Amino acid sequence: MESRGEGPGPAGESSEMAAALRAAKQALRAELKRRLRALSEAEKQRQSRLLSRKVIGHSKYQESQRIAIFLSMQDEIETEEIIKDIFQRGKECFIPQYKPRSSHMDMVKLTSAEEISSLPLTSWNIHQPCDDDVREEALSGAGGLDLILMPGLGFDKSGNRLGRGKGYYDTFLERCMHHPKGKPYTIALAFKEQICDSVPVAENDIQIDEILYEDS
């Protein structure tokens, strides 16, 4: 059972602060989900096409060889065009493989853009390789990653990111920091409706290097 933090002293204060942070994040997640539900399919496609062009023209993308990218859910920027471009340019593409009932995620190698549709669907309706599908894991060798293109629910202009509460990306970025190659450059892809004045963050929430959206 969690301490309710009613007593005096630092422990009480810290648990009250943690509860307030959780509540602030939950409230913002609900607001962002409401904003995303209000977006039409045509508008999501319009912003996705625009963002794809921004990414493909970005100097960090062009100079990166090993790129991790998410496979989009319904309320996320569509990444299909970027993935096709990664393969057309002869770069290496890595996609998330989430471990259920944990905050662990690997980035595993994709062999082609066409392969995605044949991958099994998770409970979140995302294609990903099944657990017994053995593939190169981005951090397993010396190569590491050059760039991670990231999803999220909300972002602010200081680089703070609000995820969906599972901690997959924060945990993965922590592992990247211990890799010999070091932390890759991170770019989050967002609809302009996902940009907030400020995102509530905890100490272990890792800032994003750059947020790309329509007006950025």
Question: Does 154 show up as a binding residue in the annotation?
Answer: no
Question: Does 39 show up as a binding residue in the annotation?
Answer: no
Question: Does 28 show up as a binding residue in the annotation?
Answer: yes
Question: Does 161 show up as a binding residue in the annotation?
Answer: yes
Question: Does 31 show up as a binding residue in the annotation?
Answer: no
How far apart, in Å, do the first and last CA atoms of the chain sit?
44
Question: Does 167 show up as a binding residue in the annotation?
Answer: yes
Question: Does 66 show up as a binding residue in the annotation?
Answer: no
Question: Does 41 show up as a binding residue in the annotation?
Answer: no
Question: Does 26 show up as a binding residue in the annotation?
Answer: yes
Question: Does 22 show up as a binding residue in the annotation?
Answer: no
CA dist., res. 155 & res. 4, Å (int): 30
Question: Does 145 show up as a binding residue in the annotation?
Answer: no
Residue 48: partners with Cβ closer than 8 Å, 6 or more residues away:
77, 78, 79, 81
CA atoms within 13 A on the CB side of 6: 2
Question: Does 162 show up as a binding residue in the annotation?
Answer: yes
Question: Does 164 show up as a binding residue in the annotation?
Answer: yes
Question: Are the C-beta atoms of 75 and 164 separated by less than 8 Å?
Answer: no
Provide the annotated binding site.
25-29, 71, 76, 161-169
Provide the annotated binding site for substrate.
71, 76
Provide the annotated binding site for ATP.
25-29, 161-169
